[in-house]
Structure 1
Amino acid sequence: MPSSSRVAIIGAGNVGATAAYALMLRGLFAEIVIIDRDADRAAAEATDIADANAVARPARIWAGDYSDVKDADVLVLTAGAATHGDETRTSIAAKSAAIVRGCVQEAMGAGFDGVLVVSSNPVDAMVQVAQATSGLPPERVIGTGTLLDSNRFRKRVADQLSVAPGAVEALVLGEHGDSEVVAYSTVRIGGVALDAFLGEQAFNRLEIAHDVMRAGYTINHGKGYTSFGVASAIVRICEAIHRDERVVLPVATRLSGQFGIDDLYLSLPCLIGAAGVLRVLIPDLSADERAALLASADALRETLADLE
């Protein structure tokens, strides 16, 4: 594993550039390198972020090439096909897979040996493609998965209950997409289960779950892409790795028998540290949630089968 404080980002689009900017603001890495097939775009984004860095913690930020990934602790892959309008994430899987395979082959050929974080859509399928292409141990190839969805879930529950999002524990599991599982059985407010906290207060579970699942489409309709939310998820995972935090985050990891699911990347709560996923936790789900998680796995298998 490399010891340098460097993060490399492949993809200078809206997500990659926003992630690079957010990483600069967090001051996590001494070096941030942005790589893109559009060298002019990468150079422009790197220069813009470097200019902003004048009022932040010192860091070296530049547009590089694949030779720069060899010394990176963390490699973030955001490159892939983009969705438009009501186009689903899975509908672009074949295009994204070709891009992801090419990027990962280049990175491994350059000698990368750190932790790979994938956010390319559809992320669960793409992180599976990335791991298979890279040959890295599964624990060192992580998808952003449902971390963003879980953050959205916590925020909407908090808004309904008039509490701070930090007071809410809540998980979205399975696929980052239309089959995701909004797991109300995992909701806790200050350690108190949702039903006990609510008492007689009205609470529309179906509306919130639908809003969480459709949030990406809603944002896409309004501005043409999503960036800030997923970039924040990328930064949170990078921070957990870089600081060896051993924090639990719902991310996409390759399952090995959890809930009867094997050799498939889906999101469950994972213990994250410097070596990637240290342990996969098995939450106590309701029967309906377990069934929905298995259905989510089936949906992802269909996507992967189409790629093959």
Structure 2
Amino acid sequence: MKISIIGAGFVGATTAQRIWEKNLGDVFLYDIVEDMPQGKALDMMESAPLLGVESKIVGTNRFEDCQNSDIFIITSGLARQPGMSRDDLLNRNAEIVSGIAENIQRFSQDSIIIVVSNPVDVLTYLMAYKTKFPKNRVMGMAGVLDSARFRYFIAEELGIAPQEVQAMVLGGHGDEMVPLSRFATVSGVGIEHFLPREKIDQLIKRTREGGAEIVKLLKKGSAYYAPSAAIMEMVESIVKDQKRLLPCSAWCEGQYGIHDQYVGVPVILGKNGIEKIVELPLTGKELGELQESARHLAANIAKLNLSHR
């Protein structure tokens, strides 16, 4: 597999390392900053004798080196700073993603695209609009990360191993995300058997503010360790055709009452990209929150002033 990562900053470089160390494919790390991706790629490749990794990482400033990639991961763009929302990044990052979309359409028309740049759901819509790729091959990374945060916060509160916790977060990657506590379990047992409602609500609030919490602590920049792990999980499911059930920003055509829009929903992720959207039996309140999140995203998409097609 040829996996190209567009943007060699903290998220892109850490993602490259995780994918490369898993031997999921040859990684091409692209950035416009001269020599920077080459330096990071060389640094990682020099650890190959110690790690026994057989794949390669190539750093490049030439987009054409990413030609015929099987998967593109888009991490380019401005990162959040303290006091900023993901939506504040919209205009500048939309310009960047539009340029990337044009290059992908030019060099790799059969690839699968995973958008990571924020605001991710809106930029995923933009990427699909610009490339005109089938919607199953364009998706956004958000739900896997938000769900991982929710799972960790539950495990931390209960003092148990994080891998024992399963949870699902739907909706847009922002303050309107929808952590589904009713589906959160510890080894199959609902978390309401372990935690009072008040505590669960606190964990939901912390999940919604999870990215901002890290931005505030870092003072400059945003998260990249957990996001890169989330991206790697999605890539692995595609490369190995695992058909994992994962929450991703996917194109809805009536599912959950949402039409012609990208929003975080559970999907089956395999070699063809998004192979199916799974509709969970949501309560009226849960469905209302998901649809409200979608309306917020639609309002931001409208700011892009894209002509209808």
TM superposition score category, shorter chain reference: over 0.9
Q: Choose the corresponding residue for 1:22, options 5, 18, 42.
A: 18
1:285 alignment counterpart: 282
Task: Report the Cα distance in structure 2 between the residues aligned to 1:290 and 1:84, rounded to whole angstroms.
Answer: 31
Deviation at 1:159, TM superposition (A): 2.0
Using a 3 Å threshold, how does the CA distance of structure 1 residues 66 and 182 change in structure 2: closer, same or farther? Answer: same
Is the CA contact 2:115–2:140 (under 8 Å) kept in the aligned structure 1?
yes
TM-score (norm 2): 0.93
Give the match for residue 249 of structure 2. Answer: 252
Number of corresponding residues: 301
Query: Which residue of the other structure, out of 121, 126, 131, is the alignment partner of 1:124?
Result: 121
In structure 2, the residue matched to 1:62 is: 58
Partner of 2:297: 300
TM-score, normalized by length of structure 1? 0.94
* Equivalent residue letter for 1:306: K
CA–CA separation in structure 1 for the residues paired with 2:85 and 2:143: 16
- Superposition misfits of 4+ residues, deviation over 6 angstroms: none
Distance 1:91 1:275 in 2: 33
Does the residue aligned with 1:259 lie in a helix, a strand or coil?
Answer: helix
Aligned residue among 209, 229, 232 for 2:229: 232
Give SS of 1:79's match.
Answer: coil
Shift of the alpha carbon at 1:82? Answer: 1.9
Cα shift readout 1:282-304 (whole Å, capped 9, x = no counterpart): 11222221111111011101111
Aligned partner (choices 40, 48, 51) of residue 35 of structure 2: 40
Opposite residue 44 of structure 1, the aligned amino acid is G
Q: Quote the offset at 1:107 in angstroms.
A: 1.7
CA distance in 2, matches of 1:202, 1:35: 46
Letter of the 2:68 partner, please give it: D
Residue 260 of structure 2 corresponds to 263
Asked if 1:214 is matched to 2:191, the reply is: no
- Identity across matched positions, percent: 28
Where 1:307 maps in the other structure, the secondary structure is coil
Whether 1:53 and 2:48 are equivalent positions in the alignment is: yes
Letter in 2 for 1:53: A
Contact 2:20 2:56 in 1 (8 A): no
Between 1:93-102 and 1:55-64, the stretch displaced more is 55-64
Q: Tell me which amino acid in the other structure corresponds to 1:241.
A: I
Q: Secondary structure at the match of 2:175?
A: coil
Cα RMSD for the two superposed structures: 1.5
| 2:165 aligned with 1:176 | no
Q: 1:134, CA displacement in angstroms?
A: 1.0
Q: Are 2:11 and 2:75, in contact at CA under 8 Å, matched by a contact in 1? A: yes
Q: What SS class does the counterpart of residue 183 from structure 2 fall into?
A: strand
Quote the residue 1:276 is aligned against: 273
Give 1:245 shift: 0.4
Task: Give the secondary structure class of the aligned counterpart of 1:39.
Answer: coil
CA contact (8 A) 1:69 1:112 kept: no
- Give the direction of change, closer, same or farther, for the CA distance of 1:201–1:296 in structure 2 (3 Å limit): closer
- Mapped partners of 2:81, 2:197: distance in 1: 36
Q: Deviations over 1:75-110 (max 9, x none)?
A: 111112222111000011111111001011012111
What's the offset of the Cα at 1:202? 7.5
CA deviation map 1:131-179 (0-9, x unaligned): 1111111101110022101001011112222332222221111001111
Answer whether contact 2:68 2:107 (CA < 8 A) is retained. Answer: no
Q: 1:267 to 1:202 in 2, by over 3 A?
A: closer
The offset of 1:206, in angstroms, is: 1.9
How many angstroms apart in 2 are the aligned matches of 1:138 and 1:69? 21
Q: Is the 8 A contact 1:170 1:186 kept in 2?
A: yes
- Cα deviation, 1:258-292, whole Å, max 9, x if unaligned, reads 11101111111110000001100111222221111
Picking from 65, 76, 80, the partner of 1:79 is 76
C-alpha displacement of 1:190: 2.2
Residue 204 of structure 1 pairs with residue 199 of structure 2: yes
Q: What displacement does 1:193 show?
A: 2.4
- One-letter identity of the residue aligned with 1:108: Q
2:136 alignment partner, SS class: helix
Quote the offset at 1:39 in angstroms. Answer: 2.5
